[in-house]
Structure 1
Amino acid sequence: MLDIPGLPLPEPVTRYVEFADRTLGRLIVSGSVEPALPDGAKFVTAEIYEERRAAMRALHDSRVAELLDAERQVRRQQFEDLVAAGVSETTARGLSGHGGPLDDTDAHMTGR
């Protein structure tokens, strides 16, 4: 839209979109022309957008927590295997990472 001095511009409006692959998007539009959406995409309300976004975030956080837990378990097993093989605990901790900084900082990575 042209910015002509003295001509009032319409207020921008936020439109929420769900695409065919279930991803979400926000569009800021001004004027009366509806933006063209790709095949399979549809406009949704702000409430539906926020609900689906929250569900996606919860699923993401859950998956990240699973991955971090699996990593902690691998580090623990490596530590135990190294100690069983006769490696000192200090060296085993250093080699495996078990009980090190990652065990202390995982919580801040998930926001929990």
Structure 2
Amino acid sequence: MARAKIEGLFRLYVDLSQGKDGELGGMVVSGITALDQVGRGADVLRAQISGRRDMLARLVEEGQRDGSVSAHDEPHTIAAVLLALLHGIRVVGKAGGLAVDRNAFVARALRVLD
């Protein structure tokens, strides 16, 4: 089911955003926050973000078809919210502020799909 795939992404991002790994942050998040300084790399970063948003939209559409996503909003809108949450997790983790219960955090984030 598509919802389980999205849940897996959230679990991965939470895990990568805690402890030493979290403080290192991700290349995409670090690059996006300094987009005006990365020159030609900005196009690559924009493509990464766009690709992730499209992948999330496909998962939302799949979930709407298989019944695992009950939200009736347009898939790209839901995907944009999911993308913001996922990258926000990385930003907060980089600042060392993501000391949360993983299961509770993921369960709350997945409510976007309801």
- Could you tell me the TM-score, scaled by structure 2's length? 0.31
Higher relative contact order (CA 8 A, sep 6+): 2
- Could you tell me the TM-score, scaled by structure 1's length? 0.32
Q: Which has the higher helix share?
A: 2
CA radius of gyration, larger in:
1
